[in-house]
Structure 1
Amino acid sequence: MAALLERLLHTYGYFAVFAVIALENVGLLVPGETILISAAIFAATTHELNVIAIVITATVAALAGSIGGWAIGRYGERHLHRYGRYLHLDERDLRLGRYLFRRYGGRLVFVARFVAFLRALAGVLAGLNRMESTRFMLFSGLGAASWAAVFGFGAYALGRELEALSARGSILIGFAVVVAAIAGFRFIQHNRARLQQEADQMADDS
């Protein structure tokens, strides 16, 4: 994966960053956050790309993709119920989305940027729940800019540090990142299960 991303970034540069992040935010489960982090580290270690341009590209791509996802949810609900499996959406996922938007409203669109299982589907779910377009674009734009800045500049700083470290130090940091990623994934999965249970309970009570 790392070698593939490096080839993509070397060959296509900002276009690769834009395309992958936009596709993720439309609703496809592609590694948008991974390519943002990889691009920032690539910029720090090779100086072929500019980190500010990467962050701007990621922000625009995330917003554009999420608007596309919103349009799919807003105007294609009937098709979502029929073909949602191609976006890895089933009836329980749609029920969870309705529950989360009813509970958190626009704040969810902002926070979803930082939650793996919600980021790709936030736009679709916002459209499905009839969130007003300008309000959606406001929260989505703020979330996209914050997400791109946090992960883009953060990964760039990490890349600069890696340049100055010995190979042993780099391995230790890499191991720590993997452990943190696994812990974060388990935390997300645990909370998803809890929220799904609450959504199912709400549906049963209604």
Structure 2
Amino acid sequence: MSIISFLQTIPPLAVYLVIGLLVAIESVGVPVPGETALITGAVMSTHAALHVSAVWVFVAAFSGAVLGDSFGYSVGRRYGPALLVRLGRRFPRHVSADRVAYAEYLFEHYGMGTVFVGRFIALLRMLAGPLAGMLHLTYPRFLLANASGAACWAGIITVGIHLLGTAAESWFAGGAWVLLLVLLVVGLVGGRVLARTFDHRVEAYARERLAAGEIPTAE
């Protein structure tokens, strides 16, 4: 059962808890569909019969993001590179050495900006907390960037989808579900484009490191 189907079968309180939990787990560094859960919850909020509140969907996603990132920050600060090594072994496709190296580069050069913008990019959304802690970004600065990024991310998605879904529902029956499919497709395509762009930059950064002798060449 997909997360979309699952959320439609549980009561509103459970919907909020699942959204918050998935967003929090994703923010710690585990690749789970946190953003998909948020999008689904926002679309469900356009159906009055489901009794799902857009406000509580936002609160759940925002709280999950802040708490999850804060936990990831604490773990990263305590365990440092060992945490990333473990994540890389467990999720080699998502947390490769080259991706981590490029994310570290972004943090070292842009700090709080990377935490804020990273909330909108899948890989950085996963690594922001652990990397910020590992690189000793001060917690007050991290919290400010984390909370503001989470508020913008959750707010834009929830409010935007709720308004569009409500309008679609007034135009034709079941419009919000059609909107959900459209938004999921757009989200997947947009996410793929961002992922490819990020991977191209990761590859370019890896080539630069290799040329500079920072990465040992294979014998």
**1:166-203 Cα shifts (integer Å, max 9, x gaps):** 36966864564354234313321221122212331443
Partner of 1:86: 90
Please give the secondary structure, in 1, of the residue aligned with 2:119.
helix
Letter in 2 for 1:152: T
Partner of 2:9: 7
Contact 2:165 2:176 in 1 (8 A): no
Deviation at 1:111, TM superposition (A): 0.6
d(CA) in 1 for partners of 2:54, 2:184: 23
Counterpart pick for 1:110 among 116, 122, 133: 116
Partner of 1:70: 73
Partner of 1:48: 51
Contact 1:96 1:196 in 2 (8 A): yes
d(CA) in 1 for partners of 2:106, 2:10: 36
Consecutive unaligned residues in structure 1, runs of 5 or more? none
Bigger share in helix = 1
Contact 1:81 1:90 in 2 (8 A): no
Partner of 1:196: 202
Residues 31, 178 of structure 1: alpha-carbon distance in 2 compared, 3 angstrom cutoff? closer
Counterparts in 2 of 1:28-177, with a 5 A limit? 28-45=30-47, 46-84=49-87, 85-87=89-91, 88-166=94-172, 173=179, 176-177=182-183
| Residues 8-17 or 143-152, more deviating | 8-17
Aligned length: 206
TM-score using structure 1 length: 0.87
Residues 12, 174 of structure 1: alpha-carbon distance in 2 compared, 3 angstrom cutoff? closer
| Residues 178-187 or 61-70, more deviating | 178-187
Contact 1:99 1:199 in 2 (8 A): no
Please give the secondary structure, in 2, of the residue aligned with 1:120.
helix
TM-score using structure 2 length: 0.82
| Residues 169-178 or 10-19, more deviating | 169-178
d(CA) in 2 for partners of 1:77, 1:4: 36
d(CA) in 1 for partners of 2:36, 2:123: 14
**1:140-186 Cα shifts (integer Å, max 9, x gaps):** 01001111110111121122123223369668645643542343133
| Residues 85-94 or 66-75, more deviating | 85-94
d(CA) in 1 for partners of 2:133, 2:164: 36
Deviation at 1:80, TM superposition (A): 2.0
| Residues 28-37 or 41-50, more deviating | 41-50
User: CA-atom RMSD, angstroms?
Assistant: 2.4
Identity %: 29
